[in-house]
Chains A and B, each alone.
Chain A
C-alpha cells in the first residue's frame, strides 16, 4: 500500500470515527475536562446552592414562623424611641406605618442547609429579638444569618412589620424584596439584588438601590436616590429630588419641586417636572411637560424635549431635538453649534444647516439657550 493510499484510508476512517463519536457517543471525556478540579466542582455546587436559595425552596430544610409584639405599654415606657432599624442580609422586608401605637413583627425563618436534621436543630434556637440603643430600636436575629455552622448555608427571613407611622425607619435588605409604605417620618432604605416598592412617605427619604427594579411614589418630602444597575419608576415627589444613577434607567413623573440628576450611562424619561438640573455622561434623556428651567451639562447621549419652558444646555457629542413648543413666539432663541447643524422650523420659516441661530420671539416669556459641540440641534 502506498503512503498516499494509507493516508487516504486513515483520513476516511478518522472522519467516520469523528462523525460517529460526535453524533452517537457524546462523551464528556475531553481535554478541557482536565481543567475541572474538585475545588471548581465544589465552587459550582456552592454557587448553585446559594443563588438558587432565592428562588428554589428545595434548599430550605427548616422553616418556622414567629411574632415579636411590642405593644403600647412598651412604647409608653420608652418614650424617647424615635427610630426603627432593621438589617436583613437575606430575605424580604415589608414594613407599613399604622395609627396603632405598637410595633408588630411577623416573621418567617427559612434555614437553607445541606442537611435537614442539622437545619431543624439549628432553627430551634432562632428568634428575632430587639435591642434598644438610645432613641433607636434595632431588630435582628439572635444569631448571624450568614456566619452559620457547617451544613447550614444561610438563614432567610421574611419580615411583615407594622410600626407607628411617626417612627423613623432605617432598613437595609439584600436578596429579596423591600416594601415600605405609609410613614410620616424619615426613611433611610437600601436594597441590593431585589425589587423595591416605596409608597406614601411624608418624611425625607434617602434610598440606595443596586440591581433590581424599584417603584417609588407619593413622597411628601425630599428624595435622595442613589442607584446602580436598576430600573426605577418614581412618581409624585413633592420635595427636592436628587438622583444619582449609574447604568440604569429612570422613569420620573410628576416631580413637584427641583430635580437634580447626576447620571452615568443609561437613560431617563422625565415628564411633568419643575426646575431640572442635569449633569450626565453617556445617558439618553427625554423631557416632557417641564414647567421650570432645564439646566444641563450633557456629554454623549441624545436629548429629546417636548413641551418645555426655559432651557440652558451645554452639550457635547449629543444631538438635541425639541418638539411641540407651545408657540414659537413665546421663546427667545440663542443656539450655537460647533461641528454640527441647527435645523429649525419657526412659524413656517426653515433654518437649515445653521451654526448659529438667534431669534427674539414676539411674545417671548422663555429663553432657549443651547451651546453644542459635535451634535445637531433640531426644532420641529
Chain B
C-alpha cells in the first residue's frame, strides 16, 4: 500500500505544474468574469464561466497520452516494469491523480460559477417558473455532470489504450494511436448497443420535465435508460485492466 501511495505521490508531483498553471488560468478567468457580471449582459459571464469545462477533456487526453509516453521518453519504463507491483496498481497510480484533478477542478469551477451567479439564477427561476424548477435544474445538473465525468475518464482510458497499442510498433506511433483511438470509440458505440440488452433490467433514471403545449403546461416524468451508464462503466473497468495487462506483460520496451 505504501509503495502504491508513493507511486501516486510521484505522479501527482509530475502533474504539479499542470495543476498549478491550469488552476491559476481558470481562477483568473473566473475572477475576470465575476468582475464583469455587473457590466455584461445577464447570463453572459455565467455562460462563459463554463468554457474551461470544454478544455478539460482535452487536458485529460493530453495527460493520458503522456502518462506512458513520458516513461518511454525518459527511459523510466524499464524501472516501472520491474517494480514489484501489479500492472493495475501502476496504472491506478497514473489514472487516479488525473481523474482526481479532473473531478476536483471541474466540480470547483461549477460550484464557483453557481455561487457567484446566484442573483442571475434566482432571476432566471423567477422568469420561467413554469418551465424550469430548482429541482429539475438540480437533476439535470447532476446527470450532466455525471456524463461529463464519464466522458473525462473514458477519454483518458481510451487514449492510454491507444498509446499502449501503438507501442507494439516502432514507427508511426502517433498515427496508430489516432487509428486505435477512433476504432475504440466506434467499437464502444457499436458493441455497447448489444451490451445494453444485458443491463435493460436495471431501473431507469427518472427526470421531471415541463412542456408547454396548447393543452397547457404539464409536468411529465420521463425515464432515461441506465443501461448505457452501466455498459460504459463495465467497458471502462475492462479497459483499465486491459491497459494494466498490456503494460505489465505485453508491450515491448
Contact = CB atoms under 8 A, between A and B. Distances in A.
Q: Which of B187, B196, B220, B250 is most buried by chain A, counting CB atoms within 10 A of its CB? A: B196
B193 A30 contact: yes
Given A3-B250, A39-B221, A147-B215, A29 B193 contact: yes
Nearest to A35: B225
Contacts of B187: 14
B222 A89 contact: no
Given A11-B180, A15-B183, A29-B194, A34 B225 contact: yes
Interface stretch (B11-19, B46-54, B110-118, B226-234): B226-234
Contacts of A265: 41
Interface string B205-239: 00001010111100011111101100110000000
A14 B191 CA distance: 13
B97 interface: no
A153 interface: yes
A300 interface: yes
Nearest to A37: B223
Given A33-B193, A37-B204, A50 B224 contact: no
B174 to A, nearest CB: 15
A3 B183 contact: no
Interface in B176-204: 176, 179-180, 182-183, 186-190, 192-196, 199-200, 204
Contact of B165 (A7, A30, A147): A7
A300 B199 CA distance: 53
A156 B213 CA distance: 12
B197 to A, nearest CB: 9
A18 B228 contact: no
Interface in A167-204: 174-175
A53 B214 CA distance: 9
Interface residues on B, range: 35 or more
Q: Which of B187, B213, B225 is most buried by chain A, counting CB atoms within 10 A of its CB? A: B213
A32 B214 contact: no
Contacts of B41: 265, 281-282, 300
A146 B211 CA distance: 14
Contacts, number: 104
Nearest to A49: B213
B192 A148 contact: no
A40 B223 contact: yes
B62 interface: no
Contact of B179 (A15, A30, A53, A282): A15
A35 B228 contact: yes
A5 B224 CA distance: 43
Contacts of B140: none
B228 A31 contact: yes
Contact of A148 (B168, B194, B215): B215
Contact of A43 (B183, B199, B215, B222): B222
A89 B213 CA distance: 10
Contacts of A38: 223
A90 B190 contact: no
A223 B232 CA distance: 59
A50 B227 contact: no
Contact of B189 (A11, A15, A30): A30
B183 A11 contact: yes
Nearest to A51: B213
A175 B193 contact: no
A144 to B, nearest CB: 9
A3 B168 contact: yes
Given A31-B192, A146-B214, A146-B216, A317 B228 contact: no
Contacts of A145: 214
Q: Which of B186, B227, B232 is most buried by chain A, counting CB atoms within 10 A of its CB? A: B186
A33 B194 CA distance: 10
A281 B214 CA distance: 33
B39 interface: yes
Interface string A20-62: 0110000101111111111110010001001101000000000
Contact of B214 (A7, A33, A40, A174): A174
A4 interface: yes
A260 interface: no
Contacts of B223: 37-40
Given A4-B169, A39-B222, A31 B215 contact: no
A9 to B, nearest CB: 12
12 contacts: A7-B169, A22-B186, A31-B190, A31-B193, A31-B196, A34-B196, A37-B222, A50-B213, A89-B216, A90-B214, A146-B214, A175-B214
